[in-house]
Amino acid sequence: MITTQQYQEDYHRSIDDPEGFWGEQAKKFITWFSPWEKVLSGGFDQLDVRWFQGGKLNAAYNCLDRHLEIHPEQAAIIWEGDDPNESKILTYQALYDQVCRFSNVLKQYDVKKGDRVCIYLPMIPEAAIAMLACARIGAIHSVVFGGFSAEALKSRILDADCQIVITANEGIRGHKIVPLKQQVDIALQECPRVRTVIVVKRTANSVPWNQERDVWYHEAMSKAHPHCPAEVMDADDPLFILYTSGSTGKPKGILHSTGGYLVYVAMTHQLVFDYRPGEVYWCSADVGWVTGHSYSIYGPLLNGATTLLFEGVPHYPTPSRYWDVIDKHKVNIFYTAPTAIRALRREGDHWVTRTSRQSLRILGSVGEPINPEAWEWYYHIVAEKRCPIVDTWWQTETGGIMISPLPGTTPLKPDSATWPFFGIVPMIVDDQGNPVPDGKMGNLIIKKPWPGMMQTVYRDRDRFVNTYFKPFPGCYTTGDQAHCDVEGYYWIAGRSDDVIKVSGHRIGTQEVESALIQHQGVSEAAVVAMPDPIKGQSIYAFVTLKTGIQPSDQLKKECVQAVRETIGPIATPEHIQWTEGLPKTRSGKIMRRLLRKIANNDVSDLGDLTTLADPSVVDALIKERRNVK
C-alpha cells in the first residue's frame, strides 16, 4: 500500500519517464527468458506501438513454473461448483501438471505455435488449463463465452480460423443444463476446417459423437506426457483473441500481446487489489469475458495468488450464495459486477447479514457504472464499512484496469472510478477533440500508449485504426462518455456509441438488428438502450413488419427467438414495439436519438426534427409506445 503522495509522485514519473517506469515494473512482475532491447517504441501517431521489443518470455511459465520453487502446494485455483457441495482445489503443482499434460494433448492434435484454439467451456478448472496450455505452446486462444449461441460461436471460429475447439459435453449453471457440445456440433456444420473437438465430461449425460473428430478430454489427458517445455515467445507475439461488440458490424477480434499485457495485468492486479501472499482472491466474471481473462486467470496467477473460479450463479441455491462462498473459502478480495450487486440488493439485506464475511478486506466493481445506491449497499451492508471499494473502469481493448482507486491510497467518492492508473493519461474532449472544462461531460480518450493495450483487431487493421484512432487522431477513443471533477476524479457515464451494456455484457445494437431481420416477417429493425434497475440497461427494439404481416404475440416470441439463436440469451430484447415506420433523415439515416427518447417515454423535448424525411412517423411512434409494457 502506498500513500496518496507516493501515488502522485509515481504517477508523474510513469508519464514523464515511461521507459524507466515500465522497465522497472516489467522486471519486478515478470520473469523474462531474455531481456528486451527497448521498453517502448513507436506511438499513437504512426500506430506502431511496441512494448518490450525483443524480450522473450512465456505466459504459462510466468503463471506456473516460477511459483513451483516457492509454493508448489499453495492453492492456485479453488473451484466452487454450481452445487454447493462440490468444490475442489488445484495446487500450483497440480495445475502445472495438468497444463503440461494438456499442452502435450494439443501438440498431439497438431496445434502449433501461432495457431488459434477456440475454447467454449463453462467455468471449470479445465478452462484455465486450456488457456494456459495454449499459452505454454504459443498457440493463441480465443475463448467464446458459453452463453453464446451456435451461430455466434461459428462466426468467431471462422473469423479466427480455429481448427480445434475445446468444449464440454454440457455445462451446469443455477441447476440448469447448458448444452455446449450440441451448440458446437451445430456451429461446426459450417466450419469445415475444424478437425478436432476435445470434450470435457462435465455431466454424466451422453452426447452425439463424431468418431473422426471428437476426443474425450479425460482419455487424452490420461495418456499424455506430464512434461512440456514452455515455448519461448516474443514480447509482441499474440497471447489471445477475444471477440467483443462494437457499434458497427460484426464482433471484433481484439488481439492482445504477451509481454505488455502480462506486465500490465500483473501490476494492476497487485496494486488495485493490494494482493497479499496467502490471500484468497475471487473475481466472479466468466472466463468468456476480458475480466475473466485478466483478473480470474492471468493477473492472479502471475502474482502467485489463489484464485477462486465459480461455476454457478448468484441466486442459486439462494441469494446468499456469493456470501456463503466467501465464508466457505475465506475470500479476502471479491470483484464482481454492479448488475449482480443490484440484483442481490433487491432480495433483501437478510441474505447478506446471515453470513459472516469477516474474511473480506477489499471489494471491487467492474463492467458498468455502479450507481450510488448500489455502491452504498455494497459498502454498508456487504462490507460493513470495513473494506474499500475499488470501482475499476476499463475495456476488453485496454487489457487491464485503467482508472481505479488504489485501496488505502485513493480517497474514495462513491460512484467514481477515481484516478488513472500509472502510465494512463485520460482526457475528456468535445466532439471536435477540444478539452472540456472540469465537470463537463465529454468523450473519454487516452493520450498515451500503455502496455496492456490491444495490438490490433485480428486480421483487420483498418478497423482497428478507424474505430479507435480516427475519431480523435493521435489518441485512443474509448467510446465512453465521462467527466472529470476539479479534484481529478473521473466519473464514467456510459457509452457514447451504439453499444449497450446489458448486465455488464457488451452488445452492439447493429448485431441485434441484424438478428431481428433474419426473421422472414421483419422488414426493418432499430434497437436502442433503455435504463433497467437491475441490468443497468435493457434492449428495446422497434420493428417494422413486411407488408401483409400482422403483429402478434407469437411473432414477438419468434423475433426474440431469432435474437437468442443468432447471438445468445444475453441479447434478448426486453421490449419489442411494432411500428409502421422508423424516423429517418432525408439521407436515410435512422435517428436513434429520437428512438431512445421514445423508448424511454421522454418525449417532452424531442429537439430538432426538421431533418426528418417524414415527421409524421414520430407521432405514430409515440402512440404505439403506449401499447408496449
CA separation for the pair 453, 599 (Å, rounded): 36
Q: C-beta of 474: minimal distance to ligand WTA in Å?
A: 20
Using CB under 6 A as the binding rule, the residues of this chain from 457 to 486 that contact ligand WTA are: 478-480
Contact pick of 231, 236, 311, 368 for ligand WTA (by CB under 6 A): 368
Q: C-beta of 170: minimal distance to ligand WTA in Å?
A: 26
**394 binding ligand WTA? (CB under 6 A):** yes
Those residues with Cβ within 8 angstroms of residue 219's Cβ, 6 or more apart along the chain or in another chain: none
In the DSSP assignment, the letter for residue 570 is G
Residue among 282 and 394 whose Cβ is closer to ligand WTA? 394
Q: C-beta of 420: minimal distance to ligand WTA in Å?
A: 13
Q: Which of 544, 503, 490, 505 is nearest to 521 (CA)?
A: 544
**367 binding ligand WTA? (CB under 6 A):** yes
Q: C-beta of 490: minimal distance to ligand WTA in Å?
A: 9
Q: C-beta of 310: minimal distance to ligand WTA in Å?
A: 18
CA separation for the pair 169, 180 (Å, rounded): 6
Contact pick of 55, 369, 407, 568 for ligand WTA (by CB under 6 A): 369
Residue among 53 and 247 whose Cβ is closer to ligand WTA? 247
CB 182 within 8 A of CB 195: no
**291 binding ligand WTA? (CB under 6 A):** yes
Backbone angles phi, psi at 304, to 5 degrees: 65, 30
Residue among 168 and 454 whose Cβ is closer to ligand WTA? 454
Q: C-beta of 413: minimal distance to ligand WTA in Å?
A: 13
**494 binding ligand WTA? (CB under 6 A):** yes
Q: C-beta of 404: minimal distance to ligand WTA in Å?
A: 8
Residue among 228 and 492 whose Cβ is closer to ligand WTA? 492
Q: Which of 241, 258, 235, 348 is nearest to 59 (CA)?
A: 258
Q: C-beta of 494: minimal distance to ligand WTA in Å?
A: 6
Which residue is it, cell 426534427?
609
524 - beta bridge partners?
A: 544
Q: Which three cell numbers stand for residue 1?
A: 500500500
Those residues with Cβ within 8 angstroms of residue 69's Cβ, 6 or more apart along the chain or in another chain: none
Mark the segment that binds ligand WTA (CB under 6 A) among 112-120, 213-221, 262-270, 388-396: 388-396
CA dihedral (377, 382, 387, 393) positive or negative: negative
Contact pick of 58, 395, 496, 577 for ligand WTA (by CB under 6 A): 395
CA separation for the pair 136, 147 (Å, rounded): 27
Contact pick of 207, 265, 417, 567 for ligand WTA (by CB under 6 A): 417
**396 binding ligand WTA? (CB under 6 A):** yes
Q: C-beta of 414: minimal distance to ligand WTA in Å?
A: 12
In the DSSP assignment, the letter for residue 149 is -
Mark the segment that binds ligand WTA (CB under 6 A) among 367-375, 377-385, 562-570, 619-627: 367-375
Residue among 394 and 476 whose Cβ is closer to ligand WTA? 394
Q: Which three cell numbers stand for residue 510?
A: 447493429
**567 binding ligand WTA? (CB under 6 A):** no
Q: C-beta of 385: minimal distance to ligand WTA in Å?
A: 21
CA separation for the pair 176, 155 (Å, rounded): 26
Q: Is the peptide bond before 317 cis (omega within 30 degrees of 0)?
A: yes
Residue among 191 and 417 whose Cβ is closer to ligand WTA? 417
Q: Which three cell numbers stand for residue 531?
A: 435504463
Using CB under 6 A as the binding rule, the residues of this chain from 600 to 629 that contact ligand WTA are: none
Residue of this chain nearest to ligand WTA (CB atom): 396
Backbone angles phi, psi at 418, to 5 degrees: 65, -120
Q: C-beta of 70: minimal distance to ligand WTA in Å?
A: 30
Q: Which of 320, 333, 306, 309 is nearest to 389 (CA)?
A: 333
Contact pick of 7, 120, 281, 393 for ligand WTA (by CB under 6 A): 393
Residue among 266 and 618 whose Cβ is closer to ligand WTA? 266
Contact pick of 159, 279, 391, 511 for ligand WTA (by CB under 6 A): 391
**290 binding ligand WTA? (CB under 6 A):** yes
**238 binding ligand WTA? (CB under 6 A):** no
Q: C-beta of 415: minimal distance to ligand WTA in Å?
A: 9
542 - beta bridge partners?
A: 526, 577
CB 259 within 8 A of CB 302: no
Between 500 and 529, how does the x/- string for binding to ligand WTA read (CB under 6 A)? Answer: -x----x-----------------------
* Number of residues in contact with ligand WTA under rule CB under 6 A: 23
Q: Which three cell numbers stand for residue 514?
A: 441484424
Instruction: Give the SS3 label for residue 460.
Output: coil
Q: C-beta of 266: minimal distance to ligand WTA in Å?
A: 17
- Please give the helix or strand (H or E) that residue 307 lies within, else none: strand 306-310
Q: Which of 301, 238, 154, 248 is nearest to 513 (CA)?
A: 248
Q: C-beta of 337: minimal distance to ligand WTA in Å?
A: 9
Using CB under 6 A as the binding rule, the residues of this chain from 299 to 328 that contact ligand WTA are: none
CA separation for the pair 311, 83 (Å, rounded): 9
Q: How far is residue 162 from each of residues 125, 158, 255, measured CA to CA in Å?
A: 22, 7, 14
HSE-up (13 A, CA, CB side) for residue 211: 0
Strands 280-283 and 389-392: unpaired
Contact pick of 14, 244, 257, 443 for ligand WTA (by CB under 6 A): 244
With residues binned 3-state (H G I as helix, E B as strand, rest as coil), the percentages for the chain, rounded to 5, are 35, 25, 45
Q: Within its chain, how far is the Cα of 111 from the centroid?
A: 26
Residues that bind ligand WTA (CB under 6 A): 244, 289-291, 366-369, 391-396, 417, 478-480, 492, 494-495, 501, 506
